[in-house]
């Protein structure tokens, strides 16, 4: 049975400083000095609702910096006392929850490596029974919306009302420029399933590099996300974790100033929201189509090089007939007309031949050799 969320609107959450609900601070608390100085500079921007810092760090490989542990919670408490910002950290087991609560931490989030595990999420939920604290649930590292919803429901069942989701992207075998694939259709679907649940985007862990943060943040705002979690550090290149993706507080301020907050100008904003989101989905699929086409042509060029080396003709019509026949059949099952499949595949085939021809006739070199 689906759990009904009774979430107050995010603008009614304590600490809310306006749209986007902004969470920022270092990936990891490293030293008291680094935590305090980053906090002072962020407090000056006056847009950060919650100051974040990782105290216990889940690292992919052992023997890297694994966080300062409970000592860092004292520094977060000091941040709260001296700057007035609320403070938050990641919890990955019940011990973390008890420790964080002991130091008055206002927001806990469940990391992507934890939300995959219902046993651990349940353990955290049990530790949160009857506690009044904000809890954000990051998407699991695999793109499984049910698992994400399940984790949120477990936290809701503990009686937590200020719950939000964090979209931080998904692991994939196929590497692209981003560190984690955004798969925007998943948070959009989460919004449809839990309409009252605030969704925060974490462009830092999606992009994995500073120069992607603005475009990802803008997209999240265009999709009407409620907030952003962006990692910041006084000296990003010296950070002990996630050095490539952190921003100085000043660069964060600059990024925020470049964000455009589009508001639907209609008497029925709800309707426009939905249309806007659907159009965004179409744009995302169109981008996928273009990426796929690019990849397909790269393979065609490799085939061209191979055929050239082995003196094979470009056109092998038997194989091509087979491809079209299969595509028309598969297309039918997906409700796509044979005319569409025929037209698309013929056009793609022609483009492939052109790419192969170019490689065979222009003596174009393997791009890898050019570097």
Q: Which residues bind ligand PEP (CB under 6 A)?
A: 27, 54, 58, 90, 111-113, 138, 168, 205
Residues 22 and 253 sit within 8 Å (Cβ to Cβ): no
Residues in contact with Mn ion by the rule CB under 5 A = 27, 242
Smallest gap from Cβ 369 to ligand PEP, in A, equals 37
Q: Among 134, 136, 127, which residue's Cα sits nearest to residue 158?
A: 127
Q: Which is nearer to ligand PEP, 168 or 219 (CB)?
A: 168
Q: 């959450």: which residue's tokens?
A: 13
Q: How far is the CB of 205 from ligand PEP (least distance, A)?
A: 4
Q: Where are the beta strands (DSSP E) in the chain?
A: 21-25, 48-52, 86-91, 107-110, 134-138, 163-167, 199-201, 227-231
Residue 355 interface partner, choices ligand PEP, Mn ion, none, CB cut-off 5-8 Å depending on type = none
From ligand PEP, Mn ion, none, interface partner of 138 (C-beta below 5 to 8 A by class):
ligand PEP
Nearer to ligand PEP, 154 or 168 (CB): 168
**Which residue's Cβ lies closest to ligand PEP?**
111
Closest alpha carbon to 166 in 223, 111, 213, 117: 111
Residue 86 CB, shortest distance to ligand PEP, in Å, is 16
In 3D space, the residue among 281, 256, 248, 241 whose CA is nearest the CA of residue 111 turns out to be 241
359 binds, among Mn ion, ligand PEP, none (CB under 5 to 8 A by kind): none
In terms of CB distance, is 30 or 242 closer to Mn ion?
242
The partner residues of 89 in beta bridges, in order of sequence, read 108
Residue 143 interface partner, choices ligand PEP, Mn ion, none, CB cut-off 5-8 Å depending on type: none
Q: Token match 């219902």: residue?
A: 118
Residue 99 contact among Mn ion, ligand PEP, none, beta carbon within 5 to 8 Å by kind: none
Partners of residue 109 on adjacent β-strands: 90, 136
What is the nearest approach in angstroms of ligand PEP to the Cβ of residue 53? 9
Give the bridge partners for 170, in sequence order.
181
Calculate helix-pair angle for 32-45, 249-258, nearest 10 degrees: 30
Binding partner of residue 112 among ligand PEP, Mn ion, none, CB cut-off 5 to 8 Å per kind: ligand PEP
Q: Is 259 helix (H, G, I), strand (E, B) or coil?
A: coil
**Six-digit token pair at 112?**
């992507």
Query: In angstroms, rounded to a whole number, what is the distance separating the alpha carbons of residues 243 and 236?
Result: 5
Q: Which is nearer to Mn ion, 226 or 242 (CB)?
A: 242
Kindly tell me which of 52 and 162 has the beta carbon lying closer to ligand PEP: 52
CB nearer to ligand PEP: give 19 or 138: 138
Burial of 206 (0-12, 13-18, 19+ CB in 10 A): buried
Nearer to Mn ion, 164 or 236 (CB): 236
Strands 163-167, 199-201: pairing is parallel
Nearer residue to ligand PEP within complex by CB, 205 or 219: 205
Distance of closest approach, residue 270 Cβ to ligand PEP, in angstroms: 30
Q: How far is the CB of 138 from Mn ion (least distance, A)?
A: 11
From the CB of 140, what's the least distance to Mn ion, in Å?
Answer: 16
Q: Of these partners, Mn ion, ligand PEP, none, which one is at the site of residue 179 (CB under 5 to 8 Å by kind)? A: none
Q: Which does residue 168 bind out of ligand PEP, Mn ion, none, counting CB within 5 to 8 angstroms by kind?
A: ligand PEP
- Helix 213-222, helix 249-258: angle, nearest 10: 40
CB of 205 to Mn ion, least distance (A): 6
């Amino acid at each position: 049975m689906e759990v009904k969320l009774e979430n107050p609107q995010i603008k009614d959450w304590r600490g809310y400083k306006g749209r986007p609900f902004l969470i920022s601070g270092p990936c990891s608390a490293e030293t008291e000095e680094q935590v305090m100085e980053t906090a002072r500079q962020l407090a000056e921007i006056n847009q950060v609702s919650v100051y974040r810092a990782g105290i216990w760090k889940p690292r992919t490989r052992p023997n890297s910096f694994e966080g300062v542990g409970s000592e860092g919670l004292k520094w977060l408490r000091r941040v709260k006392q001296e700057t007035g910002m609320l403070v938050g950290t990641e919890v990955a087991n019940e011990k973390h929850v008890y420790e964080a609560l002991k130091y008055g931490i206002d927001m806990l989030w469940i990391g992507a490596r934890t939300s995959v595990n219902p046993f651990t999420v349940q353990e955290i939920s049990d530790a949160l029974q009857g506690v009044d604290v904000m809890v954000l649930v990051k998407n699991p590292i695999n793109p499984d919306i049910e698992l994400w919803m399940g984790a949120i429901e477990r936290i809701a069942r503990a009686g937590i009302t200020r719950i939000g989701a964090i979209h931080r992207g998904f692991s994939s075998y196929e590497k692209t420029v981003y560190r984690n694939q955004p798969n925007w259709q998943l948070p959009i679907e989460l919004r449809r399933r839990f309409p009252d649940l605030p969704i925060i985007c974490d462009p830092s862990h999606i992009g994995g590099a500073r120069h992607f943060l603005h475009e990802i943040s803008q997209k999240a705002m265009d999709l009407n996300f409620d907030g952003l979690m962006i990692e910041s550090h006084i000296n990003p290149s010296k950070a002990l974790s996630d050095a490539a993706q952190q921003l100085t507080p000043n660069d964060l301020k600059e990024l925020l100033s470049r964000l455009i907050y589009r508001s639907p100008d209609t008497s029925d904003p709800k309707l426009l929201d939905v249309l806007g989101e659907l159009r965004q989905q179409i744009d995302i699929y169109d981008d996928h189509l273009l990426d796929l086409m690019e990849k397909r042509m790269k393979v065609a060029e490799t085939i061209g090089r191979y055929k050239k080396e082995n003196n094979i003709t470009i056109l092998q019509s038997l194989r091509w007939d087979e491809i079209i026949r299969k595509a028309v059949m598969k297309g039918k099952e997906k409700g796509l007309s044979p005319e569409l499949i025929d037209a698309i595949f013929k056009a793609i085939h022609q483009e492939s031949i052109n790419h192969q021809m170019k490689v065979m006739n222009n003596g174009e070199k393997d791009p890898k050799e050019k570097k």
